[in-house]
């Protein structure tokens, strides 16, 4: 590997950042401890809710995010991965003060679409209400030729938002059915793949049988882990 140390700004939620560390390890081509990515995890679940911060006047998470970045920089980290999609709504402010690269999760998802051979066209997108409202994915994906189909508001209220809450409450298995229903509906509407644009959603999807899904999915935890490995190896 290299002497590059990856910072992981986590805790949003804690299970998603733990899964990121697991996938960072399992996706690394390694034969011994020393071949893996040096990484420091800052997992602070006290960061105020990102969706409330954007949509309903909740506490601002930015000072907490910047505090975590400062701690990772003090620990010697040369780049930062944030396994929380909605936190990227503050990407510009974080990047301006970080003093090091922040690996963007949406760019990572786009790279994974290309890796999987998904041609530009119509794709599905699932995420928190704030991620969809901020158009974090839609604008970047549109510029690359992908048209994003999203769940209806009724589907967000009935399926997606409650399922994200189930994962955060450690009731992961219960999240599969409502999330799979939306993946399959997006596929029926013409999506050739579905981007799981909230890091709780892949955990819910992984809790059930893959054969029940009618479209390939882009796991943004895995996508971010892959670009983090590429950065650590000096190839990104």
Q: What is the pLDDT of residues 48-70, one digit of tens each?
A: 999 999 888 899 999 999 999 99
Tell me yes or no: is domain 106-220 CATH 3.50.50.60: no
| Torsional sign, CA 66, 68, 69, 73 | positive
- Low-confidence winner among 2-11, 113-122, 163-172, 186-195 (lowest mean pLDDT): 2-11
In the prediction, which pLDDT does 1 show? 44
pLDDT more than 90, % of the chain? 96
Domain ranges (residues) in the chain: 6-104+223-232, 106-220
| Torsional sign, CA 128, 133, 138, 139 | negative
Mean pLDDT of the chain: 96
pLDDT at 89 > cutoff 80: yes
In the prediction, which pLDDT does 81 show? 98
At 236, is the pLDDT very low, low, confident or very high (cuts 50, 70, 90)?
Answer: low
**Its pTM surpasses 0.85:** yes
Q: What is the pLDDT of residues 8-30, one digit of tens each?
A: 999 999 999 999 999 999 999 99
| Torsional sign, CA 52, 140, 201, 33 | negative
Q: Do domains 6-104+223-232 and 106-220 have the same CATH topology?
A: yes
Return the number of other C-beta atoms located less than 10 Å from residue 2's C-beta: 11
The mean pLDDT of 115-125, rounded to a whole number, is 96
Q: What is the pLDDT of residues 154-180, one digit of tens each?
A: 999 999 999 999 999 999 999 999 999
pLDDT at 2 > cutoff 70: no
Cα separation of 34 and 51, whole Å? 38
CATH code reported for the domain at 6-104+223-232: 3.40.50.1860
């Amino acid at each position: 590997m290299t002497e590059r140390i990856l910072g992981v700004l986590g805790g949003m939620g804690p299970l998603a950042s733990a899964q990121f560390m697991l996938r960072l390890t399992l996706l690394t081509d390694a034969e011994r401890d020393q071949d893996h990515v040096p990484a420091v995890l800052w997992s602070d679940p006290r960061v105020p809710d990102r969706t409330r911060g954007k949509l309903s006047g909740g506490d601002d998470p930015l000072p907490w995010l910047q505090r975590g970045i400062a701690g990772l920089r003090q620990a010697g980290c040369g780049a930062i991965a944030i396994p929380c999609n909605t936190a990227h709504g503050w990407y510009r402010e974080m990047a301006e003060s970080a003093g090091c690269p922040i690996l963007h999760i949406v760019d990572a998802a786009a790279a994974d679409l290309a890796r999987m051979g998904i041609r530009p066209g119509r794709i599905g997108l699932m995420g928190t209400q704030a991620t969809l409202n901020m158009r974090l994915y839609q604008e970047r994906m549109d510029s690359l030729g992908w048209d994003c189909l999203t769940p209806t508001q009724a589907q967000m209220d009935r399926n997606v938002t409650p399922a994200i809450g189930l994962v955060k409450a450690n009731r992961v298995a219960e999240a599969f059915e409502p999330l799979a229903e939306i993946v399959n509906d997006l596929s029926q509407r013409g999506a050739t793949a579905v981007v799981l644009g909230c890091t709780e959603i892949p955990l819910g999807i992984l809790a059930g049988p893959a054969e029940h899904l009618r479209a390939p999915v882009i796991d943004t935890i895995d996508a971010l882990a892959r670009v983090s490995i590429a950065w650590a190896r000096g190839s990104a």
